[in-house]
A and B are shown apart, each in its own frame.
Chain A
């Protein structure tokens, strides 16, 4: 990156089942909050990028057209980005690319899902002619990958339960989080129903309605408000095919390459020491050690020990998902952008009750499809 890039506005809605508001009004909540944070009017924005999961999930075809008014996109170029669950991360990076390329001064990134208006598992597993219908949803896909991680790493089974507890306790410090379980215990997670062996109910993300928005700009237009910007130190996205012989979905190469490129740009050579906090796309508890290893915050096979030693809990030296993460709220179209936005809030010192003391460098991470799409940015409290 030649230009210094920054996040100057962040907004999000409450994540919940939101049947009192329309999709447009829910999107506007995040857009209005991000614009207020950046102290901008729609006339200051040069382009809008929309992040949304497949149309089938909540039944709006071409949401980039449907929401043009709610996003304040009147008279502006709009682009929709579309990469499964990672889409919010990809949208943020695409917006930063527009600024970096000199095509826009300020880009508004908007993300949402309103899953209560559709049926997520139906949309993921609808019966198609000539193929077996598993009807297993996302958990059914990821369960064997988790089983293989446990086999390879010889991790004890309580690791998944502990991650579920850590993230839910973190969510009690985030008023936007959907799941609020202040009394959760490891025993309660262990005793919750088995959904897709080895994934238990309380180790799974909810299905949520929610929205998120951020404003990305260049150095020239940053630092004009009292609230400090988050500086983008590195960003990358990588892709691989979902199914092929010999693929390692436990430690996907695209995820490794994505993180390595972002760290290279950020000048990071020892991620565990040099990153203060991480917001990772963890839809099932075991994905915490899986992604720690995949993005180089732990050596292969060593991620679970960071969990076991309490290092990834709030108050540990490598806190993961202080917001409560995907396990505490999952409006899928917005989930990736929420990770990127929460990383930005941490280094801006604006994360409220879930602020990590002294967070100067943070990772925001998103994953989509069958771990096919990977996006990651490193943001910092000072210029790169």
Chain B
């Protein structure tokens, strides 16, 4: 016995408004510039958000960052279709200089897990073609010593 089947196309026809704060953060990415946002108590959060996750207060001014940081924690993964790198890499939490907390992204060490370590220094590697989204940061890479 065979079951009935019918085609069904799933659509997502949505159009998100990003507003002035997140919009400036995304426009910065397109220009290969990284911004954080000032939270109450002087903390800086990156990626930029409209409301402080700790106090729910509105965040303040945007702060330009150098795009370098320190690996706080990481895990090694085999690359799959859709991943940011064509070879094996690390997913890592990166504490970006001048910010509080950490930023989750890929770190490219050329497929060699022996080059990954907690505390290592990394910097943003920008994509050549940037469109104003988080993927404009292709990955992080080790800062040459």
The residues of A with any CB-CB pair to B shorter than 8 Å are 18-25, 28, 42, 58-59, 68-74, 114, 116-119, 122, 126-130
Give, as a whole number of angstroms, the nearest-CB distance from B31 to chain A.
21
The residues of A that contact B52 with a CB separation of less than 8 Å are 69
Report whether over half of chain B's contact residues are helix, strand or loop; otherwise say mixed: loop
The closest CB in chain B to the CB of A71 belongs to B56
Are B12 and A59 in contact, with the CB atoms below 8 A? yes
Asked whether B58 is an interface residue with its Cβ less than 8 Å from the other chain, the reply is: yes
Complex Cα spacing A118 to B40, Å: 33
Report whether over half of chain A's contact residues are helix, strand or loop; otherwise say mixed: loop
Complex Cα spacing A166 to B56, Å: 41
On chain B, the number of residues with a Cβ less than 8 Å from chain A's Cβ atoms is: 25
Whether A22 touches B18, Cβ cut-off 8 Å, given contacts A74-B56, A119-B13, A129-B6, is yes
Asked whether B63 is an interface residue with its Cβ less than 8 Å from the other chain, the reply is: no
Whether A25 touches B56, Cβ cut-off 8 Å, given contacts A19-B17, A20-B19, A130-B4, is no
Are B8 and A118 in contact, with the CB atoms below 8 A? no
Report 20 cross-chain contacts, Cβ distance below 8 Å, ordered by A residue.
A19-B17, A20-B17, A20-B19, A25-B50, A28-B50, A69-B50, A69-B51, A69-B52, A70-B50, A74-B53, A114-B17, A117-B17, A122-B11, A126-B11, A127-B8, A129-B5, A129-B6, A129-B8, A130-B4, A130-B6
Are A70 and B51 in contact, with the CB atoms below 8 A? yes
Complex Cα spacing A23 to B18, Å: 8
Partner of B49, one of A69, A116, A126, A128: A69
Complex Cα spacing A353 to B65, Å: 49
Which B residues from 2 to 38 make CB contacts under 8 A with A? 4-8, 11-20, 22
Give, as a whole number of angstroms, the nearest-CB distance from B26 to chain A.
12
The closest CB in chain B to the CB of A118 belongs to B14
